[in-house]
Amino acid sequence: MSQPPGWYPERPGSPVLRWWDGTQWTNHTQQKTDASVFELELGGQQDPSRVQQQVQQQAGVGPVHGGGGTLFTEPVLVVNQKVKLIEMANEYTVFDQHGRQLGTVVQVGQSALKKAVRFFASVDQFMTHRLEVRDLTGQPLLVLTRPRKVFKSRIVVEYPNGQPIGEIVQENMVGKINFGFVVNGQQIGGIRAENWRAWNFMVHDHTGQEIARITKTWEGFAKTMFTTADNYVVQIHRQLQNPLASLVVAAGLAIDTALKQDDRGFG
């Protein structure tokens, strides 16, 4: 009997998954996520109409023309955290403004001990978190690392081969939280929170001009009451060039990890 298409370990116990297309092994590989079988996920596949409602009604973003169907070419990214009653690994799904999935963000590299500690205690801010941004085939596009912190967050953004792109560095702890985009020691832009709760953000270039906006959307009372899942809509106003393009996308995908891992709403 032929094995159905899917992701399978390269060898028993291997953390590397390879795509079997039903007839042969392909060149597509990915790392296993850190999600555990004990994590209770609420809800199923996201309804495109709900994503559209999230963009237009909750974030107030009207239909935007253009977009090339990828994480780096779409003008609107919808970042929805998977809703879990029990969470030991962060997972996000990324859609375009029409509800079509563009990719995922998954947490990798956690040991069993680390997951156990996360389950029994709120110590996320003192731990290093590593996220992979993946396209629809599971291929990593960016690696985002938030080193353990005491006061301020820092996100290191790299290509999958380890080549550095830049950093997203928290600049203050009191009042409206700001981050800087830093490349080779030079600031090329940043993020400014629009309120002290750090829910909505203005993203700017080195001149201070707004180039994108990040808006937190409301998941609903029932889910918010029982889980810590957060959803964001990222509107990118114009096509950007690297490294700024990658840092803006990374900011939209990692803002939850940068700010909320200590569950206090501040950096």
- Per-residue model confidence as pLDDT tens digits over 196-227: 766 799 999 999 999 999 998 875 544 444 44
Would the pTM of this model clear 0.85, i.e. be above it?
A: no
Neighbours of 30 (CB within 10 A): 21
Lowest mean pLDDT among 45-54, 91-100, 205-214, 242-251: 45-54
Report the pLDDT averaged over residues 255-261: 68
CA–CA gap between residue 101 and residue 14 (Å, rounded): 27
pLDDT confidence tier of residue 229, bands split at 50, 70 and 90: low
Kindly report, residue by residue over 67-87, the tens digit of the pLDDT.
889 999 999 999 988 764 444
**At 238, is the pLDDT very low, low, confident or very high (cuts 50, 70, 90)?**
very high
| Predicted confidence (pLDDT) at residue 182 exceeds the cutoff of 80 | yes
Between residues 226 and 54, which one has the greater pLDDT?
A: 54
Mean pLDDT (whole number) for 247-258: 87
The residues, ordered by sequence, that sit 6+ positions from 30 with a Cβ below 8 Å of its Cβ are 7, 16, 17, 132, 134, 138, 139, 140
Average pLDDT on 50-60 reads: 88
The pLDDT, as a whole number, for residue 40 is 44
Cβ neighbours of residue 1 under 8 Å, at least 6 residues apart? Answer: none
Q: What pLDDT, on the 0 to 100 scale, is given for residue 108?
A: 84
- Give the pLDDT band of residue 159 (cuts 50, 70, 90): very high
State the pLDDT confidence band at 12, using cuts at 50, 70 and 90: confident
For the segment 133-157, what is each residue's pLDDT rounded down to a tens digit? 999 888 899 999 998 776 788 999 9
Q: What is the pLDDT of residue 211?
A: 98
Task: Look at 38 and 206; give whichever has higher pLDDT.
Answer: 206
In b/e form, how buried is each residue of 218-239, taking b as 16+ CB within 10 angstroms? Answer: ebeeebeeebbbbbbbbbbeee
Stretch (H or E) spanning 82: none
The percentage of residues in the chain with a pLDDT greater than 70, rounded to a whole number, is 72
Q: Token pair for residue 21?
A: 């297309």
